[in-house]
Amino acid sequence: MSQSLEEALDETTPSERLRELAISSQVKTRIAVAQNPNTSVDVLIKLFSEAPNSVLNNPALSLLLLENPCFFENLYTSNKRVFQQFELPKFFLIWALNSFEAEIRASLAISPKIPLSFLIKLAEDKEPRVRIAVARNYCTPVQILNKLSQDNIFNVRRRVIENPNTSSDIIRSLAAHCNKTFQRIIAKHINTPKDILETLALKSDREISCLALRHQNVPAYILKQFYNNKHQERRAAVAFNSNTPVE
């Protein structure tokens, strides 16, 4: 074990020496500093981006929170993607779940590393940005996406449509009454049903039509209809599709 690592692990090492060790080139040394109860608050905040679990498991954490009730907020501000990047202690996730700041709850909601019970609660959040984050989360199950597909906020429903977990039933429901923005997204979605793709391929809007014609699930007989279409973009979309029948 190196001398610097020994110092970083030693709980009697002065905070100023720990500050110096916090910028060591050795990862193990920096992590040890994050775990040392003598490490200063500002140093812990700087180390949080690299070693959040070490900081959150620091033996002095309870005391730090007493002295600085905003410590968790300071940690989050130092790395706003921490919920997406790391598996974190449940107590920190609970803090974020109950935070008064919608930004923090939204950051938690997009994380692929949180329990289902958290997603269920966040999907009912009063702030649209939080529900949008849940709808964007690739780990959000279809039952929650189904509920969010009926949200009165446009961007929540839009994020549901963009989520690869969204089922064909949800897509069918949203396709019944949607604008061109939704139609473009639906035309590209992996789970869009064939009959919806057929309808979109026949749209007068060339962009929507071409997107549908490029989709791997569009029926072959629809592709055949566009072999000799007068619009070059549609012919190119048909040629692009690997399922296009050979004449």
Determine the Cα–Cα distance for residues 24 and 51; give it in Å rounded to an integer. 14
For position 247, what pLDDT does the model report? 63
Tokens matching residue 16: 């100023």
**Is pLDDT of 215 > 90?**
yes
Query: What is the mean pLDDT of the segment spanning 73-77?
Result: 98
Shortest CA distance to 28 belongs to which of 6, 60, 44?
Answer: 6
Determine the Cα–Cα distance for residues 4 and 25; give it in Å rounded to an integer. 10
**Is pLDDT of 163 > 90?**
yes
**What is the tens place of the pLDDT at every residue in 90-133?**
999 999 999 999 999 999 999 999 999 999 999 999 999 999 99
Name the burial class of residue 136, with classes exposed (0-12), middle (13-18) and buried (19+) by CB atoms within 10 angstroms of its CB: middle
Q: 């500093």: which residue's tokens?
A: 33
For position 39, what pLDDT does the model report? 97
Average pLDDT, the chain: 94
Find all residues with CB under 8 Å of 210, minimum gap 6, and list them: 233, 234, 236, 237
Assign 32 a pLDDT band (cuts: 50, 70, 90): very high
Determine the Cα–Cα distance for residues 83 and 144; give it in Å rounded to an integer. 20
For position 11, what pLDDT does the model report? 92
Find all residues with CB under 8 Å of 80, minimum gap 6, and list them: 103, 107
Determine the Cα–Cα distance for residues 145 and 156; give it in Å rounded to an integer. 10
Query: What is the mean pLDDT of the segment spanning 172-177?
Result: 89
**Is pLDDT of 246 > 80?**
no
**Is pLDDT of 6 > 70?**
yes
**Is pLDDT of 1 > 90?**
no
Assign 176 a pLDDT band (cuts: 50, 70, 90): confident
Query: What is the mean pLDDT of the segment spanning 5-31?
Result: 94
